[in-house]
Amino acid sequence: MLKILRINTRTREYRFEDLGDYAGLGGRALTSRMVGREVPADCHPLSAANKLVMAGGILACTNAANSGRTSVGAKSPLTGGIKESNVGGQFAHKLPKLGLLAVVFEDKPATDAPFVTVLVKKDSVEFLDAADIVGKCNYAAHDVLKARFGEKVVTALVGPAGEQCLMASNIQFSDPDGRPSRSAGRGGLGAVMGSKKIKAVVLDPEAKDAVEMADPEKFKVARKRWTDILMGHPVTSQGLPTYGTAILVNIINEAGALPTKNFRTGRFDGAQKISGETMTETIKARKGAYKHGCHTGCVIQCSQVYNDKNGEYLTTGFEYETIWGFGANLLIDDLDDIAIMDRTCDEIGLDTIEMANTMAMAMEAGLVPWGDSKGAINLLKKVGTSDPLGRILGNGTVFTAQAFGVDRVPVVKNQALPAYDPRAVKGVGVTYSTTTMGADHTAGYAVCQNILKVGGDVDNLGKAGQVEISKNLQVATAAVDSLGLCLFVAFAVLDTPDALQVIADMVSGLIGKPYSVDDIVGLGVNCLKDELAFNRGAGFTKEHDQLPAFFRNEPLPPHNTIWDFTAEEMQAAKVG
Amino acid sequence: MLKILRINTRTREYRFEDLGDYAGLGGRALTSRMVGREVPADCHPLSAANKLVMAGGILACTNAANSGRTSVGAKSPLTGGIKESNVGGQFAHKLPKLGLLAVVFEDKPATDAPFVTVLVKKDSVEFLDAADIVGKCNYAAHDVLKARFGEKVVTALVGPAGEQCLMASNIQFSDPDGRPSRSAGRGGLGAVMGSKKIKAVVLDPEAKDAVEMADPEKFKVARKRWTDILMGHPVTSQGLPTYGTAILVNIINEAGALPTKNFRTGRFDGAQKISGETMTETIKARKGAYKHGCHTGCVIQCSQVYNDKNGEYLTTGFEYETIWGFGANLLIDDLDDIAIMDRTCDEIGLDTIEMANTMAMAMEAGLVPWGDSKGAINLLKKVGTSDPLGRILGNGTVFTAQAFGVDRVPVVKNQALPAYDPRAVKGVGVTYSTTTMGADHTAGYAVCQNILKVGGDVDNLGKAGQVEISKNLQVATAAVDSLGLCLFVAFAVLDTPDALQVIADMVSGLIGKPYSVDDIVGLGVNCLKDELAFNRGAGFTKEHDQLPAFFRNEPLPPHNTIWDFTAEEMQAAKVG
């Protein structure tokens, strides 16, 4: 049986615990249950009472396709509510090789205590001096750790932003190529890690434990069918591998839902120049890679290696959200400059969605002109330095807006909106408004039914059906995040009648007990209930389930629709 | 009948309206009713939807003693809830001379529109170019306005902090000596004024309308008795005039409730050096004034003129809260340096309580050492400049704590705590927790019963009776603020059986209709109900009626008591 490793960051004591009440959980279901039970909802997110949980999903100990996502949980410094930040990379598959389902960081050292590197080995934990990497950006820090622990070392790092406990700071996880490129981006969890004075978590690369399947044959059959399902759907086998998520730029722009100039219009003149098609052409010309997986066992391969003009590696995990945020939303159409901003965020340890919206606030305030990519890059690079402006920007969208008196601030629960204007993709607007996470497209990706027509067909501009699809997607997503599967499996799952049963069969094969589709649904529902309970304790009401007033007052061209849901109507999107 | 003047700051249209539904209200009851009805609770505080209301109290049109307080209302940029910020100065008594009960500023101009000076005359409003005062600190700006409009000009000003829409910015009102020394301090209302691009509001000094008493004889008799009540109580006739509010330094220190070093202990070694007694001696030696009124008609005279070592004017309205905040709470015992910080806040346009706590956050973060008064002054002076650090500090306590990762943040509803540690004055802790205003001692000053033993005797360290006295005080305070009376009349009112009836008789004499003590209570209750309804709409729940966790976890020396009320217990302190 896998264990939970608890590490006290103040006393440096640790213990390996049986799962106990947490048995049967994994990923988000585990982090949210644990945060809900063990963290006082009204504590300061940077105080000793907060905990940082890193967990693999239920299927992380298997070789099921796309089962290597890691859930990072805590009370969020950004939203003040519960947070599960979901990330690729090698971490989740490495944990079971150490006999672990999760690592929990508790308490905190004195503010002036030195940063440490926490080395997790099979039966022990070492607190190592982090002087060799403190203050370093993530790629350089990871290089130091590779030199120290070997090329295959698996790491979770905070950059200078996390060291400063800034609210837009993320945690960067290492990928199969030995780069710290994968971001547990949202909600400022890098600040929680920084507050506990952890610069790096290192998983012993030598660990090789295997978890036995209770019913290997059942698992094997289901696993095979699972791979076939993913490889048989056009989105997961062709669209995403060829163009990455940036395939959405032209699609969402065409739909009139690409937020442009801080959510002023739904179409961007420069869309073609920053599209997935342009990206793939550019990658091919520069001998990068347009098919690339963020973790071992990924068959979708939506990632890529994006090289600069000289053919040198520039970035990877270059997502639609990032391209939209530093692109259309800032009136920037230079894909290379956007790639530099993506890399800069990965280096400093910043959430790209939060920072892209932050840059929009900086442009609203006149710090740099709209469309000025070089100016935006210069601003970004201030974060993590001693410049107080960097502290403002690194604390995110609302903070920057407050610092400069900007009143047009696209956030829900203090977290900045992603790349779909809710006035033109109303289903995702319901998700933004009601998810426990603050504005988050991944929490219930109604773009499927609203725009892509996967898993249903609901008019993106109308209200009918939106609450229902968002609610169902939120439950399904919580389950997917708990299983440790990549969310993109949903494209195939939604269109494949036996897919959920196949997933249930994989779990059943692993645990050797019956596992049903209802169990999967229950996993999602209970996870959301845990999260909602925490958020109520943190002071959230239905009044927080609403978009900022400007979405209700300003029609969005070209469709000239407004956001016309009340907070009351939103309540039906929440479980329980 | 008095009118309400509505001014659209974008179109520059204005109109003088009958009171209509607002008849019978004044001061806080009026501002809170108006904000509650006319401002969407979920709007951005700096958006066009917010309104800034400046109102005299019900008795402002009379010459009743201490009836010249002004209520400034809006949705607070700092708390996100409703705000009434209460201030002395000449404004409230001047409004009726213009035939006005209140002025309401609506809508907002473009962000890049120039600042204006709004000149309010008897039957007209002029929007004047404010280029002569933009960027100026308040004393210099007021001097320019005096040169332009005459020595007796009555003004309300934002300083550089308000121009930048910072959340700790206040509105400074001019006093009887022609200085802009009185602060509508709390809640960041200067930012609302700044967002509407108003640098100054000027009331025509020539206006001389008199409001007729409906029953002059009744009013006259009651008014005489009212003055006698105030002049007959030792606190209002001797304590406050002789030592100002700083008389509390030694009293609260002795009680073990003087928050020291960011609320770590309740006693400060340097208390004597910053006490009211020391202040009065200093003032006498430097030929200042220790009896001084903040508005015409004040008989309590708790203000003072504090001169520097050379006998030159340094500051006035030098309150206990300010002396505590920049003194004990920062381990500073140099009264002159504290006076410089008071003046600096008045110049830049900043709330001293918010900024004192902000400086504590800066010291927690190591920006300057504890006790370093010169360092604190230098930091303060950055606010309102182009230095981004000034934007951080000027946005207050929580903002500064977030910028620098400080987790020990003494606030309720995002507003910083005043000068009484709630663990040792539990009645005022109930008020901090439950008032609609965010942490605010004036909203229900249970220090009376807990420490001063005025109006009752409730053990300051115990729980018994605290919720009840806080609730009663909150109702009484809302009524006092609505009548336009100075809160300090409460010392005499609480100890004088016929005082409330006398106040009711003054109102009755003014309006020529019966007015009862029950009507006064109703005024307070309804005001609080309006405010609570607004805050519910803004998303506040009982979870927000609580002190930060460190007050519950850390015993306060010397009594070693903790804050031991639950949010649930707090609910009984709220009306309705």
CA distance A77 to chain B (A): 9
Asked if the C-beta of A405 comes within 8 angstroms of chain B's C-beta atoms, the answer is yes
Q: Which of A364, A402, A406 sits opposite B399 (nearest CB)?
A: A402
Q: What share of chain B is helix, strand, coil (3-state, %, to 5)?
A: 45, 15, 40
Q: Which residues of A touch B167 (CB under 8 A)?
A: 402
- Name the pLDDT band for B529 (thresholds 50, 70, 90): very high
* Residue B16 CB coordination number (10 Å): 16
CA B183/CA B169 separation, integer angstroms: 10
- Nearest-angstrom CA–CA distance, B433 and B411: 9
Mean pLDDT of all residues belonging to chain A: 97
Nearest CA in chain A to B43: A549
Q: Does the pLDDT at position A460 exceed 90?
A: yes
Q: Is the pLDDT of residue B233 over 90?
A: yes
Nearest to A541 among B45, B407, B541 (CB): B541
Q: What is the CA angle A537-A543-A548, rounded to 5?
A: 125
**DSSP readout, B190-258?**
HHHHHHTTEEEEEE-TT----PPPSSHHHHHHHHHHHHHHHHHSHIIIIIHHHHGGGGHHHHHHHTT--
Tell me whether B269 touches chain A (CB under 8 Å).
no
Nearest to B195 among A45, A166, A405 (CB): A405
Look at B539 and A540 and tell me if their CB atoms are within 8 Å: yes
**Does any CB of chain B come closer than 8 Å to the CB of residue A402?**
yes
Q: How much of chain A, in percent, has pLDDT values that exceed 90?
A: 98
CB contact A224 to B (< 8 Å):
no
Peptide bond into B410 cis (omega under 30): no
Predicted TM-score of the model (pTM): 0.96
A89 touches chain B (CB under 8 A): no
B539 contacts on A by Cβ (under 8 Å): 539-541, 543-544
A195 chain-B contacts, CB cut-off 8 A: 405, 407
Does residue B42 surpass a pLDDT of 90? yes
pLDDT tens digit string along A297-342?
Answer: 999 999 999 999 999 999 999 999 999 999 999 999 999 999 999 9
Residue A82's beta-bridge partner residues? Answer: A75
* ipTM score for this prediction: 0.94
Q: State pLDDT tens for residues B368-404.
A: 999 999 999 999 999 999 999 999 999 999 999 999 9
Query: CB of B193 within 8 Å of any CB in chain A?
Result: no
| Chain A CB within 8 Å of residue B195 CB | yes
Q: Is the pLDDT of residue A269 over 90?
A: yes
pLDDT at A408 over 90: yes
Distance (Å) from the alpha carbon of A381 to chain B's nearest alpha carbon: 15
- Looking at residue B302, the DSSP 8-state letter turns out to be B
A216 at B interface, C-beta within 8 A: no
Structure confidence by residue, pLDDT tens digits, B55-83: 999 999 999 999 999 999 999 999 999 99
Burial class (CB in 10 A: 0-12, 13-18, 19+), B513: exposed
Q: Convert the pLDDT of each residue in B458-500 to its tens digit.
A: 999 999 999 999 999 999 999 999 999 999 999 999 999 999 9
Under the banding of pLDDT at 50, 70 and 90, the label for residue A576 is confident
SS3 helix, strand, coil % of chain A, rounded to 5?
45, 15, 45
How large a percentage of chain B has pLDDT more than 90?
98
Q: A551, A432 in Cβ contact below 8 A?
A: no
Question: Cβ distance B347 to B138 under 8 Å?
Answer: yes
CA distance B205 to chain A (A): 33
Q: Inform me whether the C-beta atom of residue B538 falls under 8 Å from chain A C-beta atoms.
A: yes
Contact yes or no for B195 and A537 at CB 8 A: no
Q: Which residues of A touch B409 (CB under 8 A)?
A: 44
Nearest-Cα distance to chain B for A411, in Å, is 11
Alpha-carbon distance of A265 to B407, in angstroms, equals: 39
* Nearest Cα residue in chain B from A108: B407
Instruction: Tell me if B56 sits within 8 A of B26, measured CB to CB.
Output: yes
User: Within chain B, how many helices (H) and strands (E) appear?
Assistant: 24, 17
Q: Which residues of A touch B544 (CB under 8 A)?
A: 539
Is residue A109 very low, low, confident or very high in pLDDT (cuts 50, 70, 90)?
Answer: very high
Q: Would you state the pLDDT for residue B300?
A: 94
Interface check for B389 against chain A (CB to CB < 8 A): the answer is yes
Residue of A nearest to B192 (CA): A405
Q: Is the pLDDT of residue B1 over 90?
A: no
One-letter amino acid for residue B507 of the chain: V
Task: Determine the average pLDDT of the residues in B270-287.
Answer: 97
Residue B228 has pLDDT above 90, yes or no: yes
Between A and B, how many residue pairs show a Cβ–Cβ distance under 8 A? 114
Helix, strand or coil, per DSSP, at residue B157: strand
What's the confidence (pLDDT) of residue B537? 96
Q: Min CA distance, A229 vs chain B (Å)? A: 44
Average pLDDT over residues A389-398: 98
Reported as a pLDDT band with limits 50, 70 and 90, residue B527 is very high
> What SS3 state is found at A314?
strand
Chain B residues with CB under 8 Å of A570 CB are: none
The pLDDT value recorded for residue A1 is: 86
Residues of A in contact with B46 (CB under 8 A): 405-407
pLDDT for res B74: 98
Residue % of chain B over a pLDDT of 70: 100
- The C-alpha torsion from A534 through A536 and A538 to A543, rounded to 10°, is 140
How is residue B303 annotated by DSSP?
Answer: E
